[in-house]
Amino acid sequence: MDHNKLALPVGTTLDRFIMRKQEDFPYATGELSQLLRDIALAAKIVNREINRSGLIDIAGAYGSQNVQGEDQQKLDVIANIRFIRALRNGGEVCTIISEEDDEMIQTGNNQGKYVVAIDPLDGSSNIDVNVSIGTIFSIYRRVSPTGREGTAADCQQPGTHQVAAGYVIYGSSTMLVYTTGNGVNGFTYEHSLGEFFLSHPDISTPKTGAIYSINEGSSDSFSPGVAAFVKHCKDQKFSARYIGSLVADFHRNLLKGGIYIYPSTAKSPEGKLRLMYECNPLAFIVEQAGGKSSNGSQRTMEIEPKSPHERCPVFIGSKELVEQAEAFLAQEKQARAAENKEALTKEAPLAKKAVAK
């Protein structure tokens, strides 16, 4: 009998994987590795809180609003505290920007080399109905000198400057997916051992797909280009899948192929999602997996942020689908330019008559 079959290997733990990959960061001496471990630790604690939310009074509204004007859930506040505490205690981060805080959070670790942008609990309004939710994070190297507090310049870097990004999805299983610019890897949490194990190595998203994810409740305020692309998806018999939890929608499309869209609308002319801690980190991940992300005309990670909580439209997912959406928006732009030119041509003779009189 093969004795090895009695005790099969459980796989590669997140800690061991990070240690093996530390050579990918020639400028670091273990700080980024430790930072990723700190995030994983906080994710385990938040996972525990979520799993018992139906048993103790930590679900439901907290009774206040965050900087975005959105009603905070109790677990929003709990997750924010857990991640900030882990990052502060870890010592590698000088400054944090969070969806739940208006101002930059100074950790007191002025020697820290990194800045973290984080949405501690995305989709938290779904907690009460047991729908998948998540955490999204982005890591940058600070640009200001060490030895002092982080600055606005540290917290407003374009996505191309990210050194790592990831998300945690709390669902039927809990997964941590991240990239450091050398591919994308996913780790599933094993509750009994309290460890994340490599379960999805070298994630590659399909070049195209048959899923589109958009809130069609806002369809009456879609631009003509967005409306035309959605119609195109329907004509192609695509499946509409929209959970209302960004991490869950993105994760499904990353693995199966598809496109997630949150465009400009009359209610949210700048888009609804936040550039620094939602769009940029997911754009980094999807590009590393072979996909694409843009605001409809510009690569998401090349947008120059003007504020920590800046919003932007997003078209993200399989490369071919994002490019198709961009083509529909380009046609809309061309049509609008032609209409404006025609209107100016008609107005010119009238203007000349008015001057003559």
The annotation status of 121 as a binding-site residue, yes or no, is yes
The annotation status of 178 as a binding-site residue, yes or no, is no
The annotation status of 166 as a binding-site residue, yes or no, is no
The annotation status of 202 as a binding-site residue, yes or no, is no
Q: How many CB atoms lie within 10 A of CB 221?
A: 15
Kindly state the tokens that stand for 334.
């061309």
Q: How many CB atoms lie within 10 A of CB 307?
A: 13
The annotation status of 119 as a binding-site residue, yes or no, is yes
Q: How far apart are CA 166 and CA 83, in angstroms?
A: 14
- Which stretches within the chain are classed as H helix? 14-20, 31-51, 74-90, 152-155, 224-235, 246-256, 280-288, 319-356
The annotation status of 125 as a binding-site residue, yes or no, is yes
The annotation status of 32 as a binding-site residue, yes or no, is no
How many helices (H) and strands (E) in the chain? 8, 15
**CB neighbour burial string for 62-89, b if at least 16 within 10 angstroms, e if fewer:** beeebeeeeebbbbbbbbbebbbebbbe
Kindly state the tokens that stand for 91.
């010592």
The annotation status of 75 as a binding-site residue, yes or no, is no
As a dihedral over the C-alpha atoms of residue 120, residue 271, residue 251, residue 155, rounded to 10 degrees, the angle is -40
Kindly state the tokens that stand for 155.
């917290």
The annotation status of 213 as a binding-site residue, yes or no, is no
Q: How far apart are CA 322 and CA 325, in angstroms?
A: 5
The annotation status of 294 as a binding-site residue, yes or no, is no
The annotation status of 124 as a binding-site residue, yes or no, is yes
- Residues tagged in the binding site annotation for Mg(2+): 99, 119, 121-122, 278
- Residues tagged in the binding site annotation: 99, 119, 121-125, 215, 242, 272, 278
- Residues tagged in the binding site annotation for substrate: 122-125, 215, 242, 272
